[in-house]
């Protein structure tokens, strides 16, 4: 046992000794030209791919020679514009736009379900609520509340409004919404409503401030321009007025379906600025996409409730409105780049270093698949222990694809 342990210690000693001595060795690459057309074709092909990648993708597409900024400062102001006739009512932005002060989120009401003249009192619970159906008072537990219901149970079992079956009586705003609501027709003319979106973006690193509205000489001309223009990607890229129908179409959504269920649409403003050019060339691009669950989902769409309170004969009353509509979320992305020597040097050095991978890859192919008789490996790897006492002969040799040595330089390339 002791002998085995001693051998182990001796082996570890030799290992660390060789490792320590080898750590101070110096390795230098040896140039060897191999006359093999297949390997040469692979080498040049890999070189071409690496160089093409860095020139086309890294430098031209990604502009790796630029210093960039991806977290700009941005502000958004929105306003809905348009008037619609709804039955005998004239609706303006106060009626259908939320919120009225603008911001990066704005919505418009396209359809309403209204429950008129609700008052605090006692009425029958809706039959779809769990444990709401009953036959006697004992089926209704007093003061019990169901989170899916509309109020607190009184302990009585009453007839459900004008129907013959019974449900538990509750204390709440009566009549309940599911019974008393009136569905109004959708506001399909809202397809021509316009959304004014003003966006300013600032790149503090480069001290560049840009806006998405066309520069006009006077306020009067600006007002006239904004009242007439509608955004067009080619003709009016600096007009901030967007039709709701245009937004729905670009988001691949049916406006009639949006009127029925509502929906959330993202308005993406993308600023990609090459500041090596004049800042006036820094223009926004817009894209639109549905953000909420699709219409085939159970809880898709967009809606919310609000109430209008009033007093009638000294009794507090309200009109409850369930509003379906389009909500627009304005999301701004910004990226600016400008030439800088530091990223240029780093990218160039990386490109030159990556070209060296071609040699490593081809060496692996050479020594793994071509060097069957170890002719190449014998030539490639030499170990020099000390300088020779006599000068080495200066004979030049080369290796062809068959691994033979020649001294005639006319047929080969010197090592």
Whether residue 81 is annotated as binding a ligand: the answer is no
Q: 201 and 209 in contact (C-beta within 8 Å)?
A: yes
Spell out the residues 6+ positions from residue 301 whose beta carbon is closer than 8 angstroms to its own: 261, 262, 263, 292, 295, 324
Whether residue 322 is annotated as binding a ligand: the answer is yes
Q: Where are the beta strands (DSSP E) in 277-314?
A: 284-290, 303-312
Q: 323 and 261 in contact (C-beta within 8 Å)?
A: no
Cα separation, 183 vs 259, whole angstroms? 12
Buried b (16+ CB within 10 A) or exposed e, 171-181: bbbbbbbebbb
Cα separation, 363 vs 49, whole angstroms? 17
Count Cβ atoms within 10 A of the Cβ of residue 152 and give its class: 0-12 exposed, 13-18 middle, 19 or more buried: middle
Q: Which two tokens stand for residue 337?
A: 């780049």
- How many CB atoms lie under 10 A from the CB of residue 162? 6
Q: 188 and 215 in contact (C-beta within 8 Å)?
A: no
Annotated binding site for ATP: 194, 322
Residue ranges for the known binding site are 194, 322
């Amino acid at each position: 046992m002791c002998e085995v342990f001693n051998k182990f210690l001796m082996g570890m000693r030799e290992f660390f000794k060789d490792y320590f001595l080898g750590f101070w060795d110096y390795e230098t690459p040896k140039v060897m030209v191999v006359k093999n057309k297949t390997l040469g074709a692979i080498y040049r092909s890999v070189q071409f791919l690496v160089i093409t990648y860095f020139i086309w993708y890294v430098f031209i597409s990604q502009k790796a020679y630029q210093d960039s900024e991806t977290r700009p400062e941005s502000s958004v102001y929105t306003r809905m514009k348009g008037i619609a006739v709804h039955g005998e009512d004239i609706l303006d932005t106060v009626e259908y736009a939320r919120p009225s002060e603008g911001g990066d989120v704005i919505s418009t009401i396209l359809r309403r379900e209204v429950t008129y003249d609700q008052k605090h009192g006692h009425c029958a619970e809706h039959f779809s609520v769990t444990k709401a159906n009953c036959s006697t008072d004992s089926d209704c537990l007093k003061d019990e509340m169901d989170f899916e219901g509309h109020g607190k149970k009184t302990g009585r079992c009453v007839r459900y409004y004008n129907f013959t079956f019974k449900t538990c009586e509750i204390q709440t705003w009566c009549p309940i919404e599911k019974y008393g609501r009136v569905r109004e027709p959708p506001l399909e003319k809202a397809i021509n409503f316009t959304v004014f979106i003003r966006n300013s973006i600032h790149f503090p690193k480069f001290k560049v401030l840009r806006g998405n509205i066309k520069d006009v000489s006077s306020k009067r001309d600006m007002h006239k321009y904004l009242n007439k223009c509608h955004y067009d990607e080619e003709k009016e890229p600096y007009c901030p007025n967007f039709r709701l129908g245009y937004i729905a179409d670009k988001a691949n959504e049916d406006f009639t379906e949006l009127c029925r269920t509502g929906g959330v649409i993202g308005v993406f403003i993308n600023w990609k600025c090459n500041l090596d050019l004049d800042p006036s060339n820094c223009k926004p691009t817009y894209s639109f996409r549905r953000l909420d669950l699709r219409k085939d989902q159970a809880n898709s769409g967009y809606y919310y409730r609000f109430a209008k309170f009033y007093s009638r004969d000294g009794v507090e009353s309200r009109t409850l409105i369930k509003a379906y509509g389009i909500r627009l979320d304005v999301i701004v992305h910004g990226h600016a780049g400008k030439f800088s020597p530091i990223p240029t040097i780093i990218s160039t050095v990386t490109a030159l270093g990556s070209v060296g991978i071609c040699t490593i890859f081809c060496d692996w192919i050479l020594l793994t698949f071509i060097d069957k008789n170890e002719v190449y490996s014998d030539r490639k790897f030499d170990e020099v222990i000390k300088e020779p006492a006599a000068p080495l002969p200066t004979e030049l040799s080369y290796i062809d694809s068959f691994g033979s040595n020649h001294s005639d330089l006319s047929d080969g390339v010197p090592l």
